[in-house]
Amino acid sequence: MILAESPRRQRVTKLVNWGHWFALANIIIAIVIASIFVFSSPMPGTGVGTLYLLANWFGHIGFMTFFGFVIFILPLCYLVSNPRIIKASASIIAAVGLALLAFDALLFNRTGFHISFHAADLLRSEAQSTMAVESWQQWAFLFLLFIVWLGFQLVLANAIWKRVERFTRYKIGVPVTTFFVCCFVTSHAIHVWADAKLYQPIIKQDNMFPLSYPATAKTTMSRYGLLDLAAYEERKQLQFNPDIHNITYPAEPVYCSIETSKNLTVIVQLDNEQDVDLSKIKRNTLNKVDNYYSTASSIEGLMTTTLFGVPEIYQDALSQKRPVLLALPLGSGMPVSIHSDEALPLPHLSGYLQPISNIHDGLHIAFMKSSEIESYVKNTLARKHEVIVATGFGSDSGQGTLYSTLELTANLASTEDLAPTILNALGCNAPSTFYSTGQNLLSPSRPWLVSTSGERIVVFHDNKRTDVLSNGSYEISDLETGKRSKEALNVNLLSQAIKHLSRFSNQN
């Protein structure tokens, strides 16, 4: 004898089937909303990184949404007998959950943070500033928008309920479940490999999605001899995230006096078409530092490094900042100008631009081609200006010569050192660490320097150059021969250099 299902069991079965289809519809919506996270972040740039991005996008968002269904909605299908109550409750839960996801996506797009206890202060300040700007009409519009969104969820829930018997004829449960499970497992498996290799195109995606905790297996892999934990920790210590968006510049307020009676002209070479030799101009007038390095990978990066005293990797984050090198003398009443035949890297600096024929006292910074430098230096010296001339940009090694009428006492220098040296020469005694990663070459305090070239960190010390990639791998070369060196890596120095380089970043 075959017993028919009881009415309650039939109702529960229909509700569960409805719940799965309702969850699938909201998974698709959540994936669309989560595209904001994807397009707010830099693309991986590699095939494996892109594969991980897609697998993590679909797998994590699908899992997170379905987990919400299992926790909050599925129990109602068994505990509540009234379908209307279940549909209304599920619609409210889905509307609130997806609204939070959308808010988190907008917050991430604006600040790079997710909703969390760690971001509570940021959320509070954002809310206060928003409430101060928004009028009650705008708040009413947002509330109305949520009501419309809730209404859409109710319509969606009812539409699926009416068609649930028809949907159950389509046997797509296994393929859909297999797809999302494969995405979820694949993303975590790839991350285990990437974490062991410190593969930056994947590691830098760790914070892309909310509530994301990618799998790692360092201890297990080391137990079976698949990973050297000591080498891993060494490389991890040297990791650096090249995607810097939020910075504090200057790190501290800069207060100092400027001697407005002084005159200083700074000339930076923009090309490498010919060697610039200024040693014969007015014998014994120009001092020089032979070990001067310009590691910027572009003219825009060179200009940024010169004016701000920080590596080119900060260029995008400085889009709304004013260089202390320019603002401080100008605020003290000293004439300040820039000459450049090339466009300045940041549009808001164009107010400082003047033609090279506009000769004036005070501070003048000129970005020039090598063929123009010698004659301009002679004219500048004739006007009794102090002079700093930086050459070497564009050479294979980035090495050039730094000439100056100032008493430079350093044996090693880089473009980042120009800003603190200039301000010190003009009488400013504020700590250079407040506004620069360089040092004052009139009184240097450390025997090493750190800069960046593209996404590489470059450290110079003890006649050696160490290039560190963003994933922590490195290469050491001899400065005199240019050949690879077999010397052991100075991990403590490199760790100190990376921390020094990163201190303006709010993400470090």
**DSSP of 150-192, one letter per residue?**
HHHHHHHHHHHHHTHHHHTTS--HHHHHHHHHHHHHHHHHHHH
Rounded distance between C-alpha atoms, residue 58 and residue 48, angstroms: 16
Q: What contacts 66, CB < 8 A, 6 or more positions away? A: 23, 27, 180
- Contact present, 205 and 52 (Cβ < 8 Å): yes
Phi/psi of residue 448, each to 5°?
Answer: -130, 160
Which domains does the chain show, CATH number per domain?
7-236 (no CATH), 264-440 (3.40.720.10)
CA 28 vs. chain centroid, Å, equals 29
Note the pTM of the prediction, 2 decimals. Answer: 0.59
- Contact present, 226 and 297 (Cβ < 8 Å): no
Query: Which tens digits make up the pLDDT trace of 260-278?
Result: 999 999 999 988 777 777 8
The per-residue pLDDT for 487 is 79
The gap between the terminal CA atoms of the chain, to the nearest Å, is 71
The per-residue pLDDT for 436 is 93
Phi/psi of residue 288, each to 5°?
Answer: -150, 150
**173-197 and 47-68 helices cross at what angle (nearest 10)?**
130
> Of 239, 249, 294, nearest to 456 (Cα)?
239
Rounded distance between C-alpha atoms, residue 308 and residue 74, angstroms: 57
Strand order in the sheet with 456-461: 449-453, 456-461, 464-468, 474-478
Phi/psi of residue 484, each to 5°?
Answer: -65, 140
Rounded distance between C-alpha atoms, residue 94 and residue 388, angstroms: 64
Provide the token pair at 11.
């109702």
> Of 460, 459, 478, nearest to 469 (Cα)?
459
The per-residue pLDDT for 3 is 47
CB burial class (10 A; 0-12, 13-18, 19+) of residue 465?
A: buried
The per-residue pLDDT for 2 is 46
Give CA separation, 19 vs 89, 120, 246, in Å. 12, 34, 42
> Of 231, 208, 217, 211, nearest to 189 (Cα)?
217
| Dihedral sign from CA coordinates of 485, 491, 497, 501 | positive
Each residue's pLDDT, cut to its tens digit, for the chain (508 residues) gives 344 557 777 778 888 989 899 999 999 999 999 999 998 887 887 899 999 999 999 999 999 999 999 999 989 888 888 889 999 999 999 999 999 999 888 878 776 667 766 555 555 555 555 555 555 666 677 788 889 999 999 999 999 999 888 888 888 888 999 999 999 999 999 988 887 777 778 877 888 899 888 877 655 555 555 555 555 555 555 555 555 556 789 988 999 999 999 999 999 998 877 777 787 676 557 888 989 998 888 899 899 999 999 988 888 888 888 999 999 999 999 999 999 988 888 888 888 998 888 888 999 999 998 888 988 998 898 888 999 999 888 777 788 899 999 999 999 999 999 999 999 999 999 999 999 999 999 999 888 888 888 778 888 888 888 887 765 567 888 888 888 887 777 777 777 787 788 778 755 4
Rounded distance between C-alpha atoms, residue 436 and residue 421, angstroms: 11
Provide the token pair at 138.
């705008």
Provide the token pair at 96.
């609130």
Cα dihedral 295/297/299/303 (nearest 10): -50
- Contact present, 291 and 397 (Cβ < 8 Å): no
Say whether 72 sits in a helix, a strand or coil: helix
> Of 443, 442, 494, nearest to 465 (Cα)?
494
Cis peptide before 431 (omega within 30 of 0): no
Long-range contacts of 4-9 (CB under 8 A, 24+ apart): 8/81
Provide the token pair at 174.
């296994």
Secondary structure of 283-319 as H, E, C letters: CCCCEEEEEEECCCCCHHHHHHHHHHCCCHHHCHHHC
Side chain identity at residue 54, one-letter code: L
Rounded distance between C-alpha atoms, residue 420 and residue 425, angstroms: 8
- Contact present, 268 and 302 (Cβ < 8 Å): yes
